Structure 1
Amino acid sequence: MKLHWSPRSPYVRKVMIVLKETGLEPRVELSRNVVALHMPTPQAVLADNPLGKIPVLITDAGKPIYDSRVICEYLDGLAGGGFFPADNALRMEHLTWQSLGDGLTDILLLWRTELARPAGAWEAVTDAWRIKIRAGMRQLEADAPRLSALPLGIGQVSVICALGQLDFRWTDCNWRRHFPALAAFHAQMLERPSVRDTVPDDDNAGDNVADITAGHLWFDQ
């Protein structure tokens, strides 16, 4: 298999954690790509995903699968299951956390691009995003005991990747001080090699977006 990959992508990180946890990583060749909203999409990515996004997994049969949610479920099936529980109530719990984690990540990625616009960010939009990020983090703080208690599944993986994006691109937001239960959950997850070894890394394959997020995301208000 082949994976269109970047060490900075939180969605690629989701896939990499699942690959490592399932033991499937040795079967996958990584293909480095730089993908950003403001840049032309690499033809190699566009050929396999008409949306021009990563991750994209090319199966052993040569079929492209895109979107981290779909890829992770495919890999889970190859490995015999576990990340997407068979019990319907537990599965819905994990899928809801996945939706929340991915939704927070979506906002953080779009927000960073919005701040880089030459004309300046649209404050009405960024103000709305700030409200949603704070609400999402409060929900995760309330859910943290449950996240910590359950065996690792796609819900925890998605939340880990959202928190990792905060650490990677919003370094002064100090989220741990405001959400101690969530911080404890994150520390617990970092004890796993799959999580620790996939912490986002800026490998200098530049996307030409400066680190301009400092001071734009605060939980004090």
Structure 2
Amino acid sequence: MSFFSMSFSLNRRQILATTVAALLSVTTASAWAADEAPDVFIKRITTETLDTIKADKALRSGDVNKLMQLVDDRLMAHVNFRRMTALATGPAWRKATTEQQKRLQEEFKILLVRTYAGALSQVSDQTVVVKPVKAGQEDKNLVVNTEVRGKGDPIQLDYRLEKTPGEGAGWMIFDLNVLGVWLIENYRTQFTKEINAGGIDALIASLAARNKSNARNG
């Protein structure tokens, strides 16, 4: 298996697809009410997006280009991607130049967009049940727990959020947990190995090579 391959079984891919679908419904910053509770936010975007995916024949048919465009337009603009990349990279992020940070974000984004676009084709009849938010959490690091329900046993699925300040304030997603594995932790383990072997430039080169291979393979 390639260094950056996701080690999900088909069932895990289906759950990841539901996760991604739940993130895709926010279309404008104005849709994020500053006083919206985090569990209400997750419930809203989950319901809206699952309805959208199920109603779109092209998305359900697995049109990769359309799925990638959807993910890029409606997911990445509403994720704190810089924070996600920095956390996945670890201490090496602070030592990287501005240009290296820019390149790393670009290549990591391409990898995630394609990974999520592929997973979206697995969405079928899943539903998501959002649990009440546990008290005492900070707005900069708040977890919303949900369960994905479909065939088989319910599966735990968690979102890590932060609340942005000022005009257009609202909740931003910067990590998620699928089947007990946090996305950032998963990538950080992989990224650390590559950085230790050849530095930040080696990580960027590996991501770029992986993205080119994915593009060739469709």
TM band (smaller chain): under 0.3
TM-score by length of 2: 0.25
The TM-score with structure 1 as length reference comes to: 0.24
